A and B are shown apart, each in its own frame.
Chain A
Amino acid sequence: MNDLIVKVITKMLFPFIMVYGFYVMLHGHLSPGGGFSGGAIIGGGFVLFTLVFGLAKAEALLPHRYLKYVESGGLLFYMGIGLFGLFTTGYFLSNQSAGFYMGEAFTLFSSGMILYITFAIGLKVASTMITLFRYIIDEEYDHD
C-alpha cells in the first residue's frame, strides 16, 4: 500500500496488538478469551502487517521455515502434556492428580496445565492463520 498515514499508524499499532493478543491468550483461565481468540488476534495483527507492507517484508519478519516448527511444535507440546498425565496417573490429560502446580485461585500461575495448553493452542492458531493468509494472496507461495 502506498498510503503514508496507513503505514505510520500500522507501525505504531503493531506492538500494542501483539501485547493485547498475548494478554488475552495467557489469561484464558481467568477472563473470557483463551487460546482461540488470543491466537486470532495475533494472527490478525500479522495479516494487517502483510496487507500494508507487502508479502516480502512480512516474510523477512517471520519466515516460513520458523513458522512450521511453531505449528507442529504446538501440537506435539499438547500431546506431550497429555502423555505426562498418562504416565503419572492412568488418565490422559489429568490436571491436579498429575502433579501440576495448582497455585491459588485468581492469580496468573494457577489451575495447573491449562495455562501451558492455552499458550500452545494460541501459538498454533496464530501461525495457521498467517500461513493460510500467505497462501491465499500469493498462489506461487512455495516455502521450501
Chain B
Amino acid sequence: MNQYPIMMMVLMLASAALIPIVNVKFKQHLHAFIMIVMSALVLLGIFNVKHVIAFGESYINFGGYRASIGIEFYISQLSSLFVLFVIVLSWIIILYSLKDMDHHIANSKLKSYYTLVFLMLFALIGLSFTFDMFNMYVFMEILSLTSAAIISIKDKRENILASFRYLLLNTIGSLSILFGIALLYMVSGHLNMGELYRSMSTLIELYPMNLLLAIGFMFMGLAIKSAMFPMHVWLPDAHSTAPSPSSALLSGIVVKVYIFTVIKLMVYVFGVDVIRTLQIDVAISILAVVGMIMGSIFAIGQKDIKRMLAYSSVAQIGYMFLGLSLLTSAGIAAVMFHIITHGIIKSALFLSAGSIIYKTDIRDLRQFNGMGYTMPLTMAVFSVAALGLIGIPGINGFMSKVYLSLAIVDGGQPLLLGAILVSSYLNAVYYLPIIINSFLRNDPVSQPNMIAEKLPNVMIASMLVLLLAMIVTGFYPQLFMRSIESAVAFLGL
C-alpha cells in the first residue's frame, strides 16, 4: 500500500515539533538539519510519484474505517505531481532563505520562522491529498494562520498591518467555505467527496436552491483566498512587505494550492455538468478576463519593485482561472502547466528582487539605472523571467501561453484569445522598462564593465537553478507536459 504521503506529512510535523526543543549552539547545525529534512522530503515525493505511476491511484483510509464514516485521502497522479512541484520549489526557496533571513529578522527568531515554514508545508501536502470536506477546511485554516505568521515575523509597521488584513480577509473566506460545507452536509449527510459525487444527481433534482447556495458560498470563499479579481485587495500589501523568501513561498505556492482545490471541487464533488448547467464557468471567465487586464493596469503605475510583482501575480492568476473555466481536459492541463511555470518564474523574480535588496537596499524602480552592471547575474535571472512572462519564445512562459491558447480554441471560445493578447502587451509595458534601464542606461564613466557580484553562494545557486529550469522547460516542455496530460486523462473529462 502507498505509505509515502503519510510518511511525508509525519516527517514535516515531527520536524516542526523538534526544531524548538533541540538546543543548537551554531547556526550551521540548524541549517544542516533543515536541508537534510527538506532533501528527505524531496526523495519521498519522488518515490510517491513513482509508486503512483507504477501501481495506479489509491485511497488511504485513516484508522481502517471505510469511506462513509472515516477520513480518506485520495492519492491521484495529478495531486502527486502537484505535491512534487510544491516540495521541489520550496526546497530551492528554503535554500535561498538560509542566508537571506539574517537580513530581515533577529537570530533568536530563526527557529520560529522555520517551524512555521514546515507547518505550512505540512498543511500544503495535506490540502492537496485530502478527500474529505471538513479535513480540507482544517488544513486551510492551518495554512492561513502559518502564512499570515511568516509575513508578520519581520517586525516592521507595514508588515503587521499587511498580515492583519491578510488574516481578516482569509478568515472571511474560510467561513464562507464552512457555510457551503454545512449547506451540502444538510441535504446529503456525507462529508466524503466520493460519496457526495455519487449522490449529486439526486441532489440536483430535490434541492437545487441548496446546491446553488453551497456552490456560491464555496466559490466566493476560494476566490477570496486565491485573489481572483475584485477580492485581491490583500495581495499587494502582503506579498510586497514580507521578507523575500516568504514572498516567493506565498506568491509561488500558497495561492496556487487554492486553485488546485477549485479544480478538485469542480471535478470530484460537483461534476462539470452541474457547473455548466448553473453557468458558473461563464461567471469565472468574465471575472478572470477583467482580472487579467486590471491587474496589469494597476502594476503599471507602481514604483516599488515588489509591489509591482505582486500586482503582476494578480494578472497571472486571472490566466489560470480563464483556463479553468473552460472545463475541458486540455484546459486543465494548460492550467497545471501554467501553475508550474508561473511558480518557477515568480519565485525567480522575487528571489532576484530579494538579492538586489540584500546587496544594495534599493527598492525603488526609478533607481535601477545601470543595475545590470553592478549585479549582472541577478539582473540576468530577472530579465529572463520577465521576458518569460511577456511571452518571448525559448522560455517556459511562452509555452504556457501556447498551451492556454490552444485549449481556448479547442474549447470553442476564440474571442478570449484577444484578452490574452491585450494582457501580454500590458505585461510588456511594465517589465521592459526595467530591463532597458538596468542594462542599457548605465553610466559609462563610473561603471565601465560588468563584474560578477559577491552574494552568498546559496543565493546564487538557487537563482541559477531556477534560470536553468526556465530555459530547459522553454525548449523541452514535454518534460512536464507529458506527465501532466497523462494525469489529467485520469480525471475523465
Contact = CB atoms under 8 A, between A and B. Distances in A.
Touching chains A and B, CB distance < 8 Å: yes
Interface string A54-81: 0000000000000011011001100100
B69 interface: no
Nearest to B19: A72
Contact of B17 (A72, A89, A93): A72
A69 B21 CA distance: 7
B61 A68 contact: no
Interface string B1-40: 1010010001001100110110000000000000000000
Given A91-B63, A94-B63, A79 B21 contact: no
B412 interface: no
B446 interface: no
B63 A92 contact: yes
B108 interface: yes
B64 A142 contact: no
Given A68-B21, A72-B21, A79 B63 contact: no
A94 B65 CA distance: 9
Contacts of B108: 142
A82 interface: yes
A102 interface: no
B20 A68 contact: yes
A73 to B, nearest CB: 8
A19 interface: no
A97 B63 CA distance: 9
A76 B17 contact: yes
A135 B96 CA distance: 31
Contact of B1 (A75, A76, A85, A90): A90
A12 to B, nearest CB: 35
Interface in B50-104: 60-64
Contact of B63 (A71, A75, A95): A95
A85 B63 contact: yes
Given A68-B21, A75-B17, A79-B13, A89 B6 contact: no
Given A91-B61, A91-B62, A91-B64, A75 B3 contact: no
Contact of A82 (B3, B10, B18, B21): B10
Contact of A76 (B14, B60, B62): B14
Interface of B is mostly: helix
A108 interface: no
B152 to A, nearest CB: 14
A94 B62 CA distance: 7
A95 B70 CA distance: 13
B225 to A, nearest CB: 25
Q: Count chain A CB atoms within 10 A of each CB in B1, B3, B21, B63 and give the residue with the most.
A: B63
B18 A72 contact: yes
Interface residues of B, number: 16
B420 to A, nearest CB: 45
B330 to A, nearest CB: 37
Contacts of A71: 20
Contacts of B64: 89, 91, 94, 97
A141 B17 CA distance: 21
B13 A75 contact: yes
Interface in A97-144: 97, 142
Interface in B127-181: none
A128 to B, nearest CB: 12
B468 to A, nearest CB: 37
B70 to A, nearest CB: 9
Contacts of B21: 68-69, 72
A92 B62 contact: yes
B282 to A, nearest CB: 42
A128 B268 CA distance: 37
A60 to B, nearest CB: 21
- Interface centre among A79, A95, A97, by most B CB within 10 Å? A79
A86 interface: yes
A76 B14 CA distance: 6
A69 B1 CA distance: 34
A95 B10 CA distance: 18
Contacts of A86: 3, 6
A83 B7 CA distance: 9
B20 A72 contact: yes
Given A85-B63, A97-B64, A142-B108, A92 B6 contact: yes
A33 B60 CA distance: 29
A111 to B, nearest CB: 13
A36 to B, nearest CB: 14
Nearest to A96: B64
B22 to A, nearest CB: 9
Contacts of A75: 13, 17
Contacts of A79: 10, 13-14
The 9 tightest CB contacts between A and B, nearest first, are: A91-B64, A75-B17, A72-B17, A72-B21, A93-B63, A94-B64, A94-B63, A90-B1, A92-B6
7 contacts: A72-B18, A75-B13, A76-B14, A90-B1, A90-B3, A91-B60, A92-B6
Given A72-B18, A92-B60, A94-B64, 4 more contacts: A89-B64, A91-B60, A94-B63, A142-B108
